[in-house]
Amino acid sequence: MDDLPPAFWQGVAEFNQGQYYACHDTLEALWIEATDPLKSLYQGILQIAVACYHLGNQNWQGAVVLLGEGISRLHPYEPQFSSVDIEHLVNVSTNLLECLQQSDPEQVARFSPLFVESTQQSDTGDREATADDTFTLVPKIITVLSCQQDGGTA
């Protein structure tokens, strides 16, 4: 939607590409200057990005804390804010949080290959996670197009 600045969409692209640190920096710059309702939206998304960054570094506690905080901040924006499917992001992030909470913190290495920043990824052939795990565990920010936004074409 037009009321979200281009930098927000840059942050979304960085998030979805697994560039969690860059996403944090992009959204933090917006967050510092913003007022609510956008301030809490930016903060919730950047907290989930930092949680994913922590997972890539095998920081179980940091990931759990920031996932919880980010999810809490995003609840008021469900199911959708502008064209962003907040409900999907919250649901997948909640699933990830529950999986982490049910696992032993020493097992964080099981999750971390899914969250290694894309610029750092190397051989992932020996990881335990499957493509199905990626679909259900790795949060993505998706947009919802309505007929009004896309001119009525499918």
Q: How many domains does the chain have?
A: 1
Domain assignment present for 150: no
How many Cβ atoms are within 10 Å of 58's Cβ, its own excluded? 19
- Cross-strand partners of 63: none
Measure the CA–CA gap between 38 and 71, rounded to whole angstroms.
Answer: 15
Q: Is residue 144 part of a domain?
A: no
28 vs 144, which has greater pLDDT?
28
The identity of residue 102, as a single letter, is: Q
**Is the residue at 27 inside a domain?**
yes
CATH number for the domain that contains residue 89: 1.10.3450.10
151 domain-assigned: no
Report yes or no on 67 lying in a domain.
yes
Domain that residue 74 falls in: 6-118+129-137
User: Which residues, 6 or more positions from 133, have their beta carbon under 8 angstroms from its beta carbon?
Assistant: 114
User: Does a structural domain hold residue 147?
Assistant: no
Cα–Cα distance, 122 to 133 (Å, whole number): 19
Asked if the structure places residue 56 within a domain, the reply is: yes
| Top mean-pLDDT range of 28-32, 80-84, 104-108, 141-145 | 28-32
User: Can you tell me the distance from the alpha carbon of 5 to that of 41, in angstroms, rounded to the nearest whole number?
Assistant: 13
* Rg, Å, the chain Cα set: 16
Ranking 38-47, 57-66, 101-110, 119-128 by mean pLDDT, the lowest is: 119-128
- 152 in a structural domain: no
| pTM, full prediction | 0.79
Q: How many helices (H) and strands (E) does the chain have?
A: 6, 0
